[in-house]
């Protein structure tokens, strides 16, 4: 797969110093300590380590942080830790017809109500409607991308909602493996064994479980979707 039409405007390389809280990390830009926001609620322990090289952009609308950290170097490319960028990449790939298993679907609604939850997308095609929940998988174990990297009550709730809906209509969960050179996705049972069990229940109930591979290419300053249908391994 080639680059998506999502270029990063004026990206800056930085060095991660330390995570200050859930939403802010201290980075060094041109040897100057700065605060950068993070658009990801996961632990990100593998990537937000002191000394790791990252990529950030200047914030236009926030006065609390000067920068936004969106990717962290991983080999010759970078992991996309910014969930907003991940969603933009998915939406563009959907619109361009780059995801074969979603061929013919278009977006009907974002944040679609389902039970007591909001599901990321309600898609529609000639086959009918599809509720699609998207999860960010930015934890690496060898050639696997994993989710979650910490216990996720919200994730468990979404899976249960989709399983319940499956008796009425179509439902799917998409894991965005936003890491370079990933060959498959698997749930992180050690972090949330109940969620891993729920994915087995969801699969048996007919909820589609899918994954796509996504990464940031520093030399071109673009996001790449390198695999539209990564294997999902639940065991």
Please give the C-alpha separations between residue 174 and each of 25, 32, 52, 66, 69, in angstroms, as whole numbers.
Answer: 27, 38, 28, 32, 23
Q: Which two tokens stand for residue 60?
A: 């236009």
CATH number, domain containing residue 156: 3.40.1350.60
Q: Which two tokens stand for residue 48?
A: 């937000």
Indicate the SS3 state at residue 192.
coil
Q: 76, 101, 127 — which closes off a domain?
A: 76
Cα of 6 vs its chain's centroid, Å = 15
Separation of alpha carbons 179 and 4, rounded Å: 15
Range of the domain at 222: 83-227
pLDDT along the chain (235 residues), means of 10: 76 96 94 95 93 94 86 97 96 95 97 97 97 98 96 97 97 98 97 98 98 95 95 95
Are both 88 and 196 inside the same structural domain? yes
Residue 12 lies in a domain: yes
pLDDT of residue 41: 87
Are both 20 and 135 inside the same structural domain? no
Are both 42 and 127 inside the same structural domain? no
Residue labelled with tokens 């979603």: 102
Cα of 21 vs its chain's centroid, Å = 20
Q: What is the pTM of this model?
A: 0.95
* Contact predicate 142/132, CB 8 Å: no
Are both 97 and 22 inside the same structural domain? no
Q: How many domains does the chain have?
A: 2
User: In 80-130, which ranges are continuous DSSP H helix?
Assistant: 83-95
Residue 235 lies in a domain: no
Are both 136 and 37 inside the same structural domain? no
Separation of alpha carbons 89 and 107, rounded Å: 14
Are both 133 and 184 inside the same structural domain? yes
Run of H or E residues at 202: helix 193-205
């Amino acid at each position: 797969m080639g680059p998506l039409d999502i270029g990063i405007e004026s990206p800056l390389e930085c060095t991660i110093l330390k995570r200050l809280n859930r939403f802010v990390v201290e980075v060094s830009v041109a040897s100057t300590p700065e605060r950068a926001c993070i658009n990801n609620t996961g632990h990100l322990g593998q990537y937000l380590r002191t000394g790791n090289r990252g990529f950030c952009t200047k914030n236009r609308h926030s006065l609390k942080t000067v920068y936004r950290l969106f990717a962290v170097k991983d080999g010759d490319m970078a992991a996309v830790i910014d969930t907003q960028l991940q969603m933009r990449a998915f939406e563009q790939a959907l619109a361009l017809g780059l995801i074969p298993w979603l061929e013919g679907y278009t977006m009907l609604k974002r944040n679609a109500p389902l039970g007591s939850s909001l599901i990321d997308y309600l898609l529609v095609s000639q086959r009918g409607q599809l509720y699609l929940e998207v999860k960010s998988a930015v934890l690496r174990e060898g050639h696997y991308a994993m989710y979650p990297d910490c216990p996720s009550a919200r994730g468990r709730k979404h899976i249960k909602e989709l399983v319940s809906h499956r008796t009425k209509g179509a439902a799917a969960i998409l894991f965005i493996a936003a890491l370079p050179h990933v060959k498959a996705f698997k749930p992180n049972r050690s972090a949330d064994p109940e969620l891993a069990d729920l994915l087995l229940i969801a699969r048996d109930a007919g909820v589609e479980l899918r994954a796509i591979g996504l990464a940031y290419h520093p030399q071109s300053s673009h996001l790449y979707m390198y695999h539209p249908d990564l294997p999902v391994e639940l065991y």
